[in-house]
Structure 1
Amino acid sequence: MENLMASIIIPVYQAEKYIRRCLDSVIHQTYKDFEVVIIDDGSTDKSGSICDEYASRDHRLHVYHQDNQGVTAARYAGMKNAKGKYLFWVDADDYADVHLLERAMQVIDREQADIVVWSTITYVHGKETERKIWKEQPLSDWKRDSVLSKCSVLWMFCAQKKLWDKVNYPMDMAHAAEDGDIAMQLFMNAQKVGVVTDPMYYYQDDTPHSVTHGKSSFWYFDNYQLWRNRLRVCERNYPESIDYCAQRALSCAVKSYCLDLKLKDLSDSNKAELIRFLTEAKERPISGRQKEKFLSWAIRNKFDFICELYVRHKLKNTR
């Protein structure tokens, strides 16, 4: 285990319908020098016991059970318990091609890459809806893509553990967006990125316990924080993309504040942060987004009844 090359980390929460498919895709990898670190984040269904069942039959699997703390804490626990030189991530409701590790390690051996990215396929209710095909490109483009949300999910790539040791974990993004923030940090610290052009990962986009379902004021607040952080990176490195990030930070901040008027799940400090950003954004030239600019004006001037009308309309249209 001391010179282990790969750790596959699987955060698990309420995934009994899919977890066997996920684990089967992992344990049958054609590359053999790996471990599997499973973090059961307080599942109340049979997910944890299914993972224990697999671990009892395969010594490469290590299961850790913890009280429910959210996906960011689960990822952190997985990283801390991993012993491999490279960390791979598989979500419990997805699955990997059995050649994933082998193909990634070929790139690592050939190019001494810090990060290897692979192409992916997305399924909704069993139907293929998207193929994300990556090609070789300069390191500077990989970095920019990670900032602009083009390469921002952890299951799309592996990275050396030494890069993970530099990550400032966004523990305040427990509901969404932590992948994007972490990915940006990893790519910005990378010196070499390689790619597997063939699809190696299969993403299931219709599972009820995915953090991308049920967009609450928390969901928008976390995404506001992500785009705010991306905005700061662009201010230092990519001035041509400042407006792009500012638009999205503004949109998420407005929606988070407005939804909270109905859901009342943000803290006072969360709301103060949103108002502070919207006040600062007033002085920033942001193109388009007229609806969000109007709602920002209403929030800053405490015309919450306007925001409540917007929320009523938005919730009606999403039922």
Structure 2
Amino acid sequence: MRARPLLSVVVPFYGVQDYIGDCLNSIAAQTYQDIDVVMVDDGSPDGSRAVAEEWAARDSRFRIITQDNAGLGPARNTGVRHTDGVYLTFVDSDDLVTRHGFDRMVSALETTGSSFAGGNARRFNNSGGVKPSWAHQLPFQRTRYVTHVLEQPVLARDRMVWNKVYRRSFWDEFGYEFPAIRYEDYPVTLRAHLEASTVDMLAEPVYYWRERESGDSITQQVFRYDNLLDRVTSAGMVIDLVAGAPADVRLRTHVMLAETDFVAIVQAFADVPESEVDRFLDLGHDFVGRLSFDALEKRTRYDRLQYHAMMHRDVELLRELAVFRREGGLRGGARAVKVRPRSRRYEYRYPGHDRRYLPRDVFLTPTTDMNLRTAVNHIAWTDAGLVVRGTAEVRHIRSGPDSTITVRAVSTKVRELLPLKRFDDIDSHGQLSAVGFEFVIPRDKLRAWGDEDAPVRFDIQIASKGIRRNGLLRGLRAGSATWQPGSFLGDDWWAQPSPFRDGSLSVRFVERPWELRSATVEGTDLVITARLPRPLQVARVVLSGSRWAEPLNFPAECEIRGRHTVLTARLSLREIQENTADDDPFLQTSHRTVRVKAAGELHSLLWTGDPQTVAAKIDDHQFRLTRTQGNFTVLTESAVRLTADAVELVGTEGTDGAPGAATIIVRGRDWTGTADWRIAWRRYLPGTEDFVESSATTVAEDGTWQLRVPAADLLSPGERTSDIDPLASIVDWALFATSDSRDLSTSVIPEPFLVAAAPWVVIEGERRGTIAPRAETLHVDVREKSPSSTPRVS
């Protein structure tokens, strides 16, 4: 007789043969092993069942229940009826769970006695990498034990059922069942919050929520009528649930519906065919009529503009507003203009400005919208010093020749005006304006600032059209601005530009740093050499631990050379592998900071050696010794991935100095030793899982690869461009590696030393391609060619 498991896991599946294997593998890899996995075959038409049968055959904890296709909600209900665990959880079959997720939630419940526990979530896919889930950021902003939605109304925003473990007695006591609609989660989740005795909310991620490359999941197909009908039905159930709740819970819930469901409904009018307009109008009108106006007042003026258009059943305006928003109008399509020539008030000339029934305040530009906007596009070390180039503007106001920009270096003891070179550059509306600036900080000045022993940041002030704004220089763009290496200022001082903890640009200073000078791989050992700034006879190398792993210590040999010590240590990669503790089910990545312990103190090692990652493969583990954004040494362990080390543009020079008619060359390394990989640029086709690839290259036998693609092949696709937002992305390519023998396709990792040289810009005809990293993936973002920038000095 089967013993009662502690945790029952319900996994419905339908049409997910490409994903369900990874999902079930992440469940099996849990540190919490006392589980019963009920896989519910909801009449799946593809090969998903065969994958599930393989798992049922190999692991007695996995079993299959079959039903005719009825949808996700009924499939979950079926699964619940076939489980008897003390605790209950749900996993969608295209998602992943973290290795310690079940353990953390069950442990919380056994400690607190709460009705259920939930954890944070991340979104992921191959081309976009891993990122926080917007839907979970506020409810799971911090860990809260033994709490309740009545104490923390922000929990009313928690609408997903799958990142939680429920006490089965609680589930049965209130008889929870999922309705037979899409968006079935929110009514059940919110009701559970209201009826729970207490809940535990964990800030750490326990769940990885897949974002389909093509946007074809249930939640991403938002503009079909049947989808919206289910969405409105679900929202109506939620509104009924909170009708008698305290006002703050009710308001939080309505605001959540206004942010998501309302926007989905009004945005559907960008594509609604004429034959279906009336029923879309009826659906939207009924929903908006139930939505609290107080909630809409918490939303943007543009949301309120779409609300009024819906209430007046103004189909023409609803279409214009939806297209304007979809095409990036809220980002780059609306300048702020004065209401009257001498007025101090500004407004946006959104679609509908001529409609008399619209309240005029929906067009007014909030003062908070006209804030300081800065970007740091490029940072580099030259013989002259540290060069910083960027843009600054008052958001939504076009900067003219009479605008002013000043930058001051600031710290606890420094406040110094920096000379600027001004030039025209592309502003946030895609127009050539007087927003560009560049300053150079000489090395001797940096050296003098280092004596103050405090990071230096940069206060920027701008005046444009009578509006003045100031703040710290922030908006560091991907590439050199965020990954620039440091530099020595003489023999003893090191200056390191890097993002400050609040996202602003800073330069920190280190006197006589502890340095990593070199590293090599010898068999299964990593041998490192470091230079320590004082004479030492005894020291050891320490790899940092984590919540799931103890620190690792390795002995070192010390050779005193004058007032320095040369340290050599041999790190066993086998030992590190045996003590791995990643909690990332997608990238399977963990990071250990490399430090030296001497005289009872730990010292991080700055990377001052060759700008080249050192890597090795042990079984299916890949180790990469490399640098962080702050230029500290880190050892990264992950699943085996290919890396890109260099990008080169070869071709003629374009009109603005950027290469034109170019060939894009990317070089890299294969650490797997299989040499059966193909590397190509890939873009996914809208609405499908199909993709287009550039011509591909094969990894050479020595483990290196080189991909050469004419820029025209990537920049010439004929997708439509936006007439509203000049900066709208047209095509996005990501660099992928495919292995047929492994049945694996994965994005290629750009090495930090490559990232430090990004971005690269290539012009081809009327298109502009920007090659830059994003989410540990190398991308080519294709947009319309922007006007040329014209340098001018001020």
Q: Fold-level match, TM-score > 0.5?
A: yes
Q: Is 2:264 aligned against 1:262?
A: no
Q: How many residues align?
A: 314
C-alpha distance in 2, partners of 1:282/1:30? 45
- Cα deviation, residue 281, structure 1: 5.4
- Cα deviation, residue 255, structure 1: 4.7
C-alpha distance in 2, partners of 1:267/1:20? 43
Q: Is 2:112 aligned against 1:111?
A: yes
Written as runs of structure 1 = structure 2, the 5 A alignment for 1:183-262 is: 183-195=189-201, 198-206=204-212, 208-216=215-223, 217-247=225-255, 249=257, 252-253=261-262, 255-256=264-265, 259=268, 262=272
Q: Do the aligned residues in 1 keep the contact of 2:12 with 2:93 (CA within 8 Å)?
A: yes
Aligned pair in 2 of structure 1 residues 250, 96: CA closer, same or farther (>3 Å)? closer
Q: Do the aligned residues in 1 keep the contact of 2:147 with 2:200 (CA within 8 Å)?
A: no
Aligned pair in 2 of structure 1 residues 122, 255: CA closer, same or farther (>3 Å)? closer
Written as runs of structure 1 = structure 2, the 5 A alignment for 1:117-156 is: 117-125=118-126, 127-130=129-132, 134-141=142-149, 144-147=153-156, 149=157, 151-156=158-163
What letter corresponds to residue 186 of structure 1 in structure 2? A
What letter corresponds to residue 205 of structure 2 in structure 1? P
Give the structure 1 partner of residue 50 of structure 2: 49
Q: Do the aligned residues in 2 keep the contact of 1:228 with 1:249 (CA within 8 Å)?
A: no
- Secondary structure, in 3 states, of the residue corresponding to 2:65? strand
Q: Is 2:171 aligned against 1:164?
A: yes
Q: Higher Cα Rg: structure 1 or 2?
A: 2
C-alpha distance in 2, partners of 1:187/1:30? 27
- Cα deviation, residue 301, structure 1: 4.7
Q: Is 2:97 aligned against 1:96?
A: yes
- Cα deviation, residue 63, structure 1: 1.1
Q: Do the aligned residues in 2 keep the contact of 1:120 with 1:133 (CA within 8 Å)?
A: no
> CA-to-partner distance for each residue in 1:43-83, whole Å, 9 max, x for gaps?
22211111012112222212123333222222222222222
- Higher mean C-alpha displacement, 202-211 vs 106-115: 202-211
- Secondary structure, in 3 states, of the residue corresponding to 1:93? coil
Aligned pair in 2 of structure 1 residues 274, 213: CA closer, same or farther (>3 Å)? closer
Q: Is 2:16 aligned against 1:15?
A: yes
Q: Which runs of 5+ in 2 are unaligned?
A: 134-139, 330-685, 687-794
What letter corresponds to residue 210 of structure 2 in structure 1? Q
C-alpha distance in 1, partners of 2:294/2:99? 49
- Higher mean C-alpha displacement, 237-246 vs 66-75: 237-246
Greater RCO between the two (CA within 8 Å, min separation 6)? 1
C-alpha distance in 2, partners of 1:258/1:101? 37
Q: Do the aligned residues in 1 keep the contact of 2:102 with 2:165 (CA within 8 Å)?
A: no
Aligned pair in 2 of structure 1 residues 128, 184: CA closer, same or farther (>3 Å)? same
- Higher mean C-alpha displacement, 121-130 vs 270-279: 270-279
Aligned pair in 2 of structure 1 residues 94, 303: CA closer, same or farther (>3 Å)? closer
What letter corresponds to residue 53 of structure 2 in structure 1? D
- Cα deviation, residue 179, structure 1: 1.6
Q: Do the aligned residues in 2 keep the contact of 1:118 with 1:197 (CA within 8 Å)?
A: yes
C-alpha distance in 2, partners of 1:78/1:145? 30
- Cα deviation, residue 160, structure 1: 1.6
Aligned pair in 2 of structure 1 residues 11, 193: CA closer, same or farther (>3 Å)? same
- Higher mean C-alpha displacement, 244-253 vs 73-82: 244-253
- Cα deviation, residue 169, structure 1: 3.7
- Cα deviation, residue 212, structure 1: 2.0
Aligned pair in 2 of structure 1 residues 87, 170: CA closer, same or farther (>3 Å)? closer
Q: Do the aligned residues in 2 keep the contact of 1:99 with 1:200 (CA within 8 Å)?
A: yes
Q: Do the aligned residues in 2 keep the contact of 1:118 with 1:134 (CA within 8 Å)?
A: no
Aligned pair in 2 of structure 1 residues 247, 6: CA closer, same or farther (>3 Å)? closer
Give the structure 1 partner of residue 746 of structure 2: none
Aligned pair in 2 of structure 1 residues 316, 70: CA closer, same or farther (>3 Å)? farther
> CA-to-partner distance for each residue in 1:179-200, whole Å, 9 max, x for gaps?
2221111222211323555433
Q: Do the aligned residues in 1 keep the contact of 2:114 with 2:146 (CA within 8 Å)?
A: no
Give the structure 1 partner of residue 67 of structure 2: 66
What letter corresponds to residue 272 of structure 2 in structure 1? K
C-alpha distance in 2, partners of 1:279/1:242? 16
Q: Is 2:315 aligned against 1:304?
A: yes
C-alpha distance in 1, partners of 2:251/2:201? 29
Q: Do the aligned residues in 2 keep the contact of 1:227 with 1:248 (CA within 8 Å)?
A: no
Q: Do the aligned residues in 2 keep the contact of 1:167 with 1:186 (CA within 8 Å)?
A: no
TM-score by length of 1: 0.79
- Higher mean C-alpha displacement, 38-47 vs 133-142: 133-142
- Higher mean C-alpha displacement, 190-199 vs 30-39: 190-199
> CA-to-partner distance for each residue in 1:248-290, whole Å, 9 max, x for gaps?
545735753773782577996x865643444455987841555
C-alpha distance in 1, partners of 2:53/2:278? 37
Give the structure 1 partner of residue 433 of structure 2: none
C-alpha distance in 1, partners of 2:235/2:31? 38
What letter corresponds to residue 58 of structure 1 in structure 2? D
- Secondary structure, in 3 states, of the residue corresponding to 1:201? strand
Aligned pair in 2 of structure 1 residues 302, 66: CA closer, same or farther (>3 Å)? same
- Cα deviation, residue 163, structure 1: 3.1
Give the structure 2 partner of residue 180 of structure 1: 186
Aligned pair in 2 of structure 1 residues 140, 40: CA closer, same or farther (>3 Å)? same
- Cα deviation, residue 225, structure 1: 4.1
C-alpha distance in 2, partners of 1:202/1:124? 10
Give the structure 1 partner of residue 285 of structure 2: 275
Give the structure 1 partner of residue 720 of structure 2: none
- Secondary structure, in 3 states, of the residue corresponding to 1:200? strand
Q: Do the aligned residues in 1 keep the contact of 2:105 with 2:117 (CA within 8 Å)?
A: yes
Higher helix share: 1
- Secondary structure, in 3 states, of the residue corresponding to 1:159? strand
Aligned sequence identity (%): 18
- Secondary structure, in 3 states, of the residue corresponding to 2:218? coil
- Secondary structure, in 3 states, of the residue corresponding to 1:262? coil
Aligned pair in 2 of structure 1 residues 140, 248: CA closer, same or farther (>3 Å)? closer
Q: Do the aligned residues in 1 keep the contact of 2:222 with 2:264 (CA within 8 Å)?
A: no
TM-score by length of 2: 0.35
What letter corresponds to residue 114 of structure 1 in structure 2? S
Aligned pair in 2 of structure 1 residues 294, 66: CA closer, same or farther (>3 Å)? same
